[in-house]
């Protein structure tokens, strides 16, 4: 078969091979149209396409020397509803830092995708740790037993904490973290029916702290107009074959790396593990941060003086990160 191409109306159709090289009447507009050999016609189109592609590349601005500020910027981003952290412009500085240590990194695009509601709930939890921790511990306990219903008495709490817990439970229901929520006003208790989805279970079992740190860091970067690459749940492979998952990793535009690990409750038996990890990542004490939720500022200061890692809590995290990125 051959190709008829009308220069007047743009009509294209296949015709018999016998018409190659002839001028025929276009069936659409009745103008004269040439008939081309298919291979010759396609080859000509490909050449024109490649020429146009090369011209377009010449006209595009050179971004090879663009600063990290231009390549990755949170200025106009809704940090509670974005997957921008999966962009190469964000991840490459982190990958390059790990490669400089001869380490391989694996990134999970879903780990920092804030289009869900994990970050909103985590922020609420982190801002009200003292009031909410007991009910979160109860949820974890019930999950561990394989049950679905949680009943929690509020009478022993202050009126303010009761309101905080009720608001939290309502938010859990609104965002579908629990299947049912009931508050008995007279007897002052709440009843929850838990979801069994693995991501929801993992969230209550500690992943919520990583989400809190992530969204806290993103809001800090945006509000203070600071530049840094940021990732959550970075899987790192060491040369001896061992692996570690880093909770939160930051790399500033100057190339300085920070690693933030998240803990609550009983964390002291893990201190030695974190000391070893800091050394393997070749980070200074100030660059390896252990954020312990519920830890007092006095304890954080004292433990930082005792160990070669930096301790913060959920309240002092943002000021510390800001000081590191602006120093």
Kindly give the residue spans of alpha helices, DSSP state H, lying in the chain. 38-59, 68-71, 88-100, 118-127, 129-145, 159-174, 198-202, 208-223, 271-280, 297-306, 317-326
pLDDT, residue 253, reads 84
Task: Extract the tokens encoding 293.
Answer: 């939720």
233 pLDDT more than 90: yes
Q: What is the number of H-type helices and E-type strands within the chain?
A: 11, 13
Banded pLDDT at 72 (limits 50, 70, 90): low
Contact 175, 120 (CB under 8 A): yes
Tens of pLDDT, residues 76-100 = 889 898 888 889 889 999 999 999 9
Strand order in the sheet with 178-184: 149-153, 189-194, 178-184
Q: Summarize the confidence of residues 295-321 as an average pLDDT.
A: 97
Q: Is residue 18 part of a domain?
A: yes
- Two tokens, residue 82: 């974005």
Q: How high is the pLDDT of residue 21?
A: 87
pTM: 0.77
Average confidence (pLDDT) over 19-42 = 87
Residue with tokens 């037993």: 145
pLDDT of residue 66: 44
CB atoms within 10 A of CB 23: 10
Residues 138 and 189 in one domain: yes
Same domain, 106 and 223: yes
Q: What share of the chain is helix, strand, coil (3-state, %, to 5)?
A: 45, 25, 30
Tokens standing for residue 80:
């509670």
| Helix or strand holding residue 149 (H, E) | strand 149-153
Beta bridge partners of 243: 237
| Number of domains observed in the structure of the chain | 3
pLDDT at 58: 72
Same domain? 106 vs 228: yes
Residues ≥6 apart with Cβ < 8 Å to 213: 247, 248, 260, 262, 291, 317
Can you give the pLDDT at residue 62? 54
Query: C-alpha 91: how far from its chain's center?
Result: 10
Domain, as residue range, for 132: 118-200
Within a domain: 69: no
User: Are 122 and 52 part of one and the same domain?
Assistant: no
Q: Is residue 33 part of a domain?
A: yes
pLDDT at 300 over 90: yes
Q: What's the mean pLDDT when you consider all of the chain?
A: 90
CATH number for the domain harbouring residue 294: 3.40.1350.10
Residue 15 and residue 82 in one domain: no
- Reply yes or no on whether the pLDDT at 70 is more than 80: no
Measuring CA to CA, which residue among 274, 293, 281 is closest to residue 251?
A: 281
**Residue 40 within any structural domain of the chain:** yes
CB burial of 132-170 (b: ≥16 within 10 Å; e: otherwise) equals beebbeebeebbeeeeeebebebeebeeebbebbbebbe
| pLDDT at residue number 71 | 44
Q: What is the mean pLDDT of residues 7-33?
A: 87
């Amino acid at each position: 078969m051959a190709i008829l191409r009308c220069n007047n109306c743009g009509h294209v159709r296949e015709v018999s091979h016998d018409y190659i090289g002839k001028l025929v009447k276009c069936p659409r507009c009745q103008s004269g149209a040439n008939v081309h050999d298919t291979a010759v016609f396609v080859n000509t189109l490909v050449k024109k396409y490649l020429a146009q592609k090369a011209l377009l590349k010449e006209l595009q601005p050179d971004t090879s020397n663009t600063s990290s500020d231009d390549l990755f910027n949170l200025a106009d981003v809704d940090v509670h509803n974005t997957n921008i952290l999966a962009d190469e412009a964000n991840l490459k500085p982190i990958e390059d830092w790990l490669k400089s240590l001869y380490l391989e990194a694996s990134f999970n695009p879903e780990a920092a995708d804030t289009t869900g509601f994990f970050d909103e709930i985590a922020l609420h939890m982190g801002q009200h740790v003292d009031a909410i921790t007991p009910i979160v511990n109860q949820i974890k306990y019930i999950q561990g037993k394989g049950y679905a219903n949680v009943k929690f008495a509020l009478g022993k709490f202050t009126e303010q904490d009761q309101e905080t817990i009720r608001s939290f439970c309502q938010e859990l229901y609104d965002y579908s973290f629990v299947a049912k929520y009931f508050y008995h006003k007279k007897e002052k208790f709440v009843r929850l029916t838990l979801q069994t989805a693995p991501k929801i279970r993992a969230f209550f079992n500690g992943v919520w702290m990583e989400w809190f740190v992530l969204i806290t860091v993103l809001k800090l970067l945006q509000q203070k107009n600071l530049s840094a690459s940021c990732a959550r749940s970075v899987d790192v492979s060491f040369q001896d074959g061992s692996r570690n998952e880093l909770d939160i990793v930051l790399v500033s535009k100057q190339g300085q790396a920070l690693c933030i690990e998240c803990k609550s409750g009983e964390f002291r038996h893990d201190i030695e593990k974190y000391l070893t990890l800091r050394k393997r990542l070749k980070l200074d004490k100030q660059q390896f941060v252990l954020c312990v939720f519920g830890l007092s500022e006095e304890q954080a200061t004292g433990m930082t003086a005792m160990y070669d890692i930096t301790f913060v809590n959920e309240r002092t995290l943002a000021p510390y990160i800001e000081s590191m990125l602006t120093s």
